[in-house]
Structure 1
């Protein structure tokens, strides 16, 4: 795959994050509700953080080990959030991660983006398994995983540190054979 992929759903386009997205990324990711519900996003969130994220996405695509997409509204191509697959090639699996701006919550956009990424991971990248983990207080993320056929595999108590406190992660997974059936 030489060119960055473009995935389309009924309402969304998933494509490459670009520097023109930086103002929206900073505005949306700067919302404490977003950063509190993600494992690695810092708060406050600055333009330098967005630039670092874009650089990580570009390097990941070059290395073929991290596919990070912008989530865009298909109607007007506006930036809404991000979604990606971090590959563990030695084990033929990836971890999916995602976030979407608060104004787009509870509208099914994230679930629609996750569906597209699962399809991309299993069909285009030929992965055997895709996993995901969410902070236990982010129940909505777990609902997205269940809606997309993922199965709870475990709970990791006090596994990560977020805002100086330990947080529990809930871990989900989906096998290619289960996705296809």
Structure 2
């Protein structure tokens, strides 16, 4: 099982023991309303179904999902995934973070590590991500991690049953390498297997 370490975080596979914490974190409506596929109200069974679904997708080789844990306290604070498209040189990153941990740079640190993993370990040529137009903080996370704004798709996503605009970001491998050479990505990491 892959585990990644950054200066403050551990990204590790989710376990059954995490279900109650995941449920608690996603019972905050302000978190869920920023996500496209998370139901509201969020219940324990949704976390169980999510864990089953990601395990199946990982077996198929098209998802890699990690929970985000604070190294100092071992507290689970969110999740992040990288979803390579099978047989293609690109993938999609997605993430969420418990509300008590917003604004502390944790997601930028986690996303930077997922970009590193995608480009350096998986050999992807392109990684993209998006956020809803009402969530500019997520766009700042993507930009700080080195991703570039690529445009807005009007009414391209659904949030709690309502259509909304999707703001797209992306990065290609040569931009990643150039940023690493000039030390523009802020977080060092370690990878464990």
Name the TM tier (shorter chain).
over 0.9
Shift of 1:165: 1.8
The yes-or-no answer on 1:116 pairing with 2:117 is no
Q: Residues 22 and 47 of structure 1 are in contact (CA less than 8 Å); yes or no, is this contact kept in structure 2?
A: yes
Match of 1:26 in 2: 23
Bigger shift: residues 156-165 or 10-19: 156-165
Instruction: Give me the whole-angstrom Cα distance separating, in 1, the residues matched to 2:67 and 2:124.
Output: 21
> Could you give the per-residue CA deviations for residues 16-43 of structure 1, whole angstroms, max 9, x where no partner exists?
1011111110110110000111111111
The yes-or-no answer on 1:170 pairing with 2:149 is no
Which stretches in structure 1 are left out of the alignment for 5+ residues? none
TM-score by length of 2: 0.89
Partner SS state of residue 168, structure 2 = strand
Partner SS state of residue 52, structure 1 = helix
Computed over aligned residues only, the root mean square deviation of the Cα atoms, in angstroms, reads 1.0
Instruction: Give me the whole-angstrom Cα distance separating, in 2, the residues matched to 1:164 and 1:42.
Output: 9
Match of 1:86 in 2: 83
Q: Residues 151 and 172 of structure 1 are in contact (CA less than 8 Å); yes or no, is this contact kept in structure 2?
A: yes
Shift of 1:124: 1.1
The yes-or-no answer on 1:53 pairing with 2:50 is yes
Greater relative contact order, per chain length (Cα 8 Å cut-off, separation 6+): 2
